[in-house]
């Protein structure tokens, strides 16, 4: 059983290590964040914490049963009872249901803790695993879009307290 932990300042080193370890793996499906991302990681981490404190975003680490960081799941642009969902699971945990479980958990948090009524997310057409996670967790297709310069679909899910 995995758990979500809200992002804290103390997570900086573990999160940096996770992103470095999975950099090449993530770059297979999403654009690489570049060297500047790692060079400026501390400042970026503090900026994320400030956004979270302001209530415009909610960032979470995905931890496995041993407490190892295996992914991230985030809610961004919180406004008017809605937010955008984003997630990434590291290579060692991929294909084992971690993304589906993490998205289900964050949907419950979004509804019960953050008071949200809906979430949107996008998945590039070349990333069918991400689209499968969204479908398995109750998201439905809204329409076509472009994500990082590639064709994608946008999904939406209405949330309830039972989410």
Give domain limits for the chain: 3-158
The string of pLDDT tens digits covering residues 83-133 is 999 999 999 999 999 999 999 999 999 999 999 999 999 999 989 999 999
Looking at the whole model, is its pTM more than 0.85?
yes
Q: How far apart are CA 3 and CA 69, in angstroms?
A: 10
The string of pLDDT tens digits covering residues 43-96 is 999 999 999 999 999 999 999 999 999 999 999 999 999 999 999 999 999 999
CATH topology of domain 3-158: Aminopeptidase (3.40.630)
Q: Residue 39 class from Cβ within 10 Å (0-12 exposed, 13-18 middle, 19+ buried)?
A: exposed
């Amino acid at each position: 059983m995995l758990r979500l932990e809200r992002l804290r300042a103390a997570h900086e080193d573990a999160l940096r290590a996770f992103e470095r370890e999975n950099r090449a793996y993530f770059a297979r499906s999403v654009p690489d964040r570049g060297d500047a991302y790692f060079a400026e990681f501390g400042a970026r981490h503090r900026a994320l914490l400030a956004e979270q404190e302001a209530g415009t975003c909610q960032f979470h680490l995905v931890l496995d049963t041993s407490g190892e960081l295996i992914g991230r799941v985030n809610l961004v642009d919180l406004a008017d009872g809605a937010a955008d969902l984003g997630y990434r699971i590291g290579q060692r945990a991929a294909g084992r249901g971690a993304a589906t479980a993490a998205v289900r958990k964050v949907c419950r948090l979004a509804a019960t803790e953050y008071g949200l009524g809906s979430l949107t997310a996008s998945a590039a057409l070349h990333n069918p695993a991400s689209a499968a996670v969204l479908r398995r967790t109750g998201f439905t297709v809204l329409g076509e879009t472009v994500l990082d310069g590639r064709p994608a679909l946008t999904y939406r899910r209405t949330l309830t307290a039972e989410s």
